[in-house]
Structure formats: C-alpha cells, structure tokens
Amino acid sequence: MSEALRKAMLILDALRESTDDLSARELAARLDVPKSTAQRLLQSLEESQMTVQDPASRKYRLGPRTLTLGMAYRERLDLRNTALPHMRTLRDATDETIGLSVVVGAERMFIEEVQSQSELRAHSELGYPYPLWTGAPGRVLLAHLPSADTDAALRDAGERPWRAIGLADRDAFLERLAEIRRAGHDRAFDETINGVSAIAVPVRDATSRIAAALSVSGPSARMSEPEMDRILPEAQAAAHKISQALGG
C-alpha cells in the first residue's frame, strides 16, 4: 500500500470515529503529518466525494461516496451469506465447484466459491477481476445490463469478446447475449481457464434486477454438453431459491 493511500485511509477513519466535523489542521495533528499534506489528501478525497467540506466552518465530514460503498459492501455480504447454503446444496448435488459472481464496474468478480470434493476440480480466484464479457457467468451478467453499460464493458475489448467464442462480429455477440436472456443460462468450454468448462444462470434480487451469476464449473472431461443438460435444472432451482431468499 502506498503511503499516500495509507494516510488517506487514516483520514477517513478519523472522520468516521469523530462525532464532529474536523478541520485540516485537526486532522493533520491526529495523523502527525504536515497540514499541507492533510489538505492535499482532503482535496483528492473531496474530488471523489469521499469527504465533504462545510462552506461555513471549512471543516470536513465523510462524503456521500462512503455511504454508497458501504451499502454496496453490505449488499454483497448479504448476497453471499444468503447464497452460501444453497451453493453447498448444489455442490453436493453435482459434485462440481459452485461460484457466485457479481458485476464490479466493467468487470466481474467471484465473491464466493464452494469447491468440489473431487480430487480433480475447478478453482477460481475470489476477488480477482475478470473482463465482464468472459466466461459463462460474465456473459450472464452482461446480458442483463442496460445497453449503455454493455457498450462500456465492450468499449476497450476490441474483437476479443466474440473471437474468444468463435463468433464473427459484434452483432453476433449481441445476439448471443439476447439468446442468453431467452434461454436463462450460458455455457463456456475451455474458455477463461483451459481445461475447465462451466454453465451459469442468473440470480435476481427483490427488484428483479440481476444480482449475481451462479455457476457450476469443472474439468472439461466431465462437463460435457449432456452433463450440463443434467446440471441445468439443479442450477436453476438453486438460483431460484437464492432469488426467493433475496425477495425476488
């Protein structure tokens, strides 16, 4: 962690713990840094809405962005805790690795995983950002985003999204996303990780928005098309139970 980032986090902690707004001088004293350093960090934090300065007192408090981040963290923590028992049940029914992925900006991220008990099993890195257009869970998430967010996710990817799955062009890729919405799932073979294949289905929240993608992945030697056909109803049933638990 850089020294500037560490000090910025200390400023946010000091503002969180204080019952009153704090001036740059007071924050500098608490952090034992020059006032100029505190002011420079506060300016950057204010630009990103992590802090707000009162125009009359010139003192600082936590900004609205901290609430947004806190609510997003709590929402995903609730999602993970709600999904976990159903993921374990699905793992026991399929004996494959079960993943839960969410959208983070223009990327996707696994926030939970229940691994297969088989010696030969798939494994994903929790918290690692993957391009949103990659893999079955990524395309399930991407398929249900507003068109502006889809465009943003594809903007810097060039031709990779459709080339990766053997499609001719962007229009063919967008039709694939439309088919995912119609079918309610997607499949990937030897794509994100060589030798690993997966099937993914959407999880909805209380507003019917797609909250996550639930995936079943395993060695490609086991995850054939017929095996995915067998797994699909189990995965959809698990996703439905998670959605119900979220109010969907």
Q: What is the pLDDT of residues 177-203, one digit of tens each?
A: 999 999 999 999 988 788 899 999 999
**Domain enclosing residue 157, as ranges:** 68-245
The CATH number linked to 10 is: 1.10.10.10
Q: What is the pLDDT, as a whole number, of residue 128? A: 78
Q: Is 30 helix (H, G, I), strand (E, B) or coil?
A: helix
Which of 47, 62, 77 is the last residue before a domain boundary?
62
Whether residues 100 and 189 fall in one domain: yes
Q: Which residues are CB-neighbours of 78 under 8 A, at least 6 positions away?
A: 246
Whether residues 113 and 142 fall in one domain: yes
Domain count, the chain: 2
Which of 20, 43, 62 is the last residue before a domain boundary?
62
Tell whether pTM > 0.85.
Answer: no
Whether residues 124 and 152 fall in one domain: yes
- Stretches where the chain sits below pLDDT 50 are none
Which of 45, 62, 79 is the last residue before a domain boundary?
62
Q: Is 54 helix (H, G, I), strand (E, B) or coil?
A: coil
Whether residues 38 and 106 fall in one domain: no
Residue 117 and residue 95 in contact, taking contact as beta carbons nearer than 8 Å: yes
Whether residues 73 and 113 fall in one domain: yes
